[in-house]
Every structure is written in C-alpha cells, then in structure tokens.
Amino acid sequence: MAGTVDLFTPVHKGLRSMIYDLSGRLQTNDFADISATTALVTDLENDFALARSAGCRLCTLATHAHEEDTIIFPSASKFADRLVTTLIEEHHDLTQRELAIAKTAHELIELPSPERRVEAGVRLNQMANTLFAAYISHMNKEEAELVPLMRERLTDAEQAAMQGTIISRFPPDRLFALLGWMLPSLNVTELSELMATQKKGAPHPLLKAVSDLCAAKVDTARWSEVKLRVGL
C-alpha cells in the first residue's frame, strides 16, 4: 500500500508564506529611512534563518536544505539518485544566493546617503526576487517529483521517523517560530489531520502550546472548523 506521509508540503507552505511576506516588505520598504531599513535587514536575516534552517542551534547560516540533505535524501537517493543529485545542486545554488543577499543587505545599511541606499535597495529587491523564484521552483519540484516516489517506496513509519529526527533538532523557540508560519498556511483538512495526530500522541503541554499558537495565528473561522472536526 502506498504511503500517505508528506514530509515536504506542509513545511513548504509555511516557507512560501514567509517568502511572500518578506517579498512584500522588501518591495514596499523606504530604503532612504535608515531605521526602517535596519529593522528590515534584521528581520530578513531572521526570516532567512527560518527558511534556511530546519534545526540549526548555533547560527543563522545552517539551511533547511541541510536537513533534507542529511536526513531525507540518503534514503531517497536509493531510488531517485538523479533527482536527489539535482536537488542537492539546487540547494548549493540557493545557499550562495542567500549568502549574497545577506552580504548585500549588510552593505546597504552601511551606506551614508539615502540616495545610495535607495539604489542598493533596488538591487536587493532584484536579488531577492530571483532567489524567491528559484526557491519556490525548487520546492515545487520536490513536491511534484520526490513526494510521490517517497510515498511509493517508503513506509509511513520510515517517513515519520525522518520527521521525528528533523523535529528533534529544533530548539523550541525556532520550532514554534516556524510553526507560526506553517500552521496558518495549511487548509482545514491539513490542519485537522495535524491536530488529530497531536491530540492522539502529543503530551498535553505540547498539544496546548500548538493549539494556543493556532488560536493566535490561524484565521478564526478556519480554526473553529478544525476544533469542531478534531474535538478540541
């Protein structure tokens, strides 16, 4: 029987929402305003720390891709070697783009004149848009091509074990920051399935913490429907 676990799409939905939000902020920011620009650069780094990290404890340079490379891809390469090789190559390219954006952002806030910051802001937006397009295309490929293969070749238990390993590497604050993007990005069925799993197996304090986060972040009507379906 084909598996049902999807290790990619729920997290990717959260990352897409984070990218959309950051893209909107970048294109509307007044780079002549040094205070607003400094705050944006700080948040951009924090956002990329989430987008690029699925368990980094000590730095903002570890990547979301690292968890896929080290936990998911070794198993997937046994039946999808060419695809996995391509995805790893794309991970390396994404990392270089991200580092270049971080460097450009830091250089931008050091510029002395508003005019030069505005000019640099245009370049930063262009770099970010190119990255975002590549990042979204990459996630689409993982979902369209790798998820079906993994469901066909791996059991739910095997994929759940990988998921558990990934989650175990998250510090709590980083985990809940990422959940803060992911939970409101899920549809009613996806969120209901997630919460039903939590209700069945999670310790009560964790279930309450995730439920409280949903109450704060998820659309009120959607969360009400989830609670009704799951019996929360």
Q: What is the pLDDT of residue 59?
A: 34
Q: Does residue 31 sit within a domain?
A: yes
**199 and 118 together in one domain:** no
**68 and 123 together in one domain:** yes
Q: Residue 45's pLDDT band (boundaries 50, 70, 90)?
A: confident
Residue 175 identity = L
Question: For the chain, what is the domain count?
Answer: 2
**92 and 51 together in one domain:** yes
**192 and 105 together in one domain:** no
Q: Does residue 3 sit within a domain?
A: no
CB 32 within 8 A of CB 114: yes
Is 53 or 24 the better-scoring residue by pLDDT?
A: 24
* Average pLDDT for 34-60: 63
**190 and 230 together in one domain:** yes
Q: Residue 192's pLDDT band (boundaries 50, 70, 90)?
A: very high
Q: Does residue 105 sit within a domain?
A: yes
CB 49 within 8 A of CB 179: no
**205 and 105 together in one domain:** no
Which domain CATH number covers 81? Answer: 1.20.120.520
Q: At what angle do helices 34-52 and 9-28 cross, to 10 degrees?
A: 170
End of a domain among 144, 170, 196? 170
**104 and 145 together in one domain:** yes
What global pTM score does this model have?
A: 0.89
Average pLDDT, the chain: 87
Q: What is the pLDDT of residue 98?
A: 82
Q: Reply yes or no on whether the pLDDT at 49 is more than 70.
A: no
Q: What is the pLDDT of residue 60?
A: 33
* Segment of 76-80, 171-175, 198-202 carrying the highest mean pLDDT: 76-80
CB 15 within 8 A of CB 51: yes
Say how far apart CA 185 and CA 192 lie, in whole Å.
Answer: 13
Q: Does residue 127 sit within a domain?
A: yes
**154 and 56 together in one domain:** yes
Is 71 or 2 the better-scoring residue by pLDDT?
A: 71
Q: Does residue 178 sit within a domain?
A: no
**74 and 112 together in one domain:** yes
Q: Does residue 214 sit within a domain?
A: yes
**113 and 84 together in one domain:** yes
Q: What is the pLDDT of residue 55?
A: 34
Cα–Cα distances (Å) from 35 to 99, 104, 119, in that order, read: 23, 17, 17
**165 and 193 together in one domain:** no
Digit-coded pLDDT (tens) for 14-29: 889 988 988 999 999 9
Q: Does residue 145 sit within a domain?
A: yes
Q: What is the pLDDT of residue 57?
A: 25
Q: To which H or E segment does residue 71 belong?
A: none
Percentage of the chain surpassing pLDDT 90?
60
Residue ranges making up the domain that contains 105? 9-170
**55 and 146 together in one domain:** yes
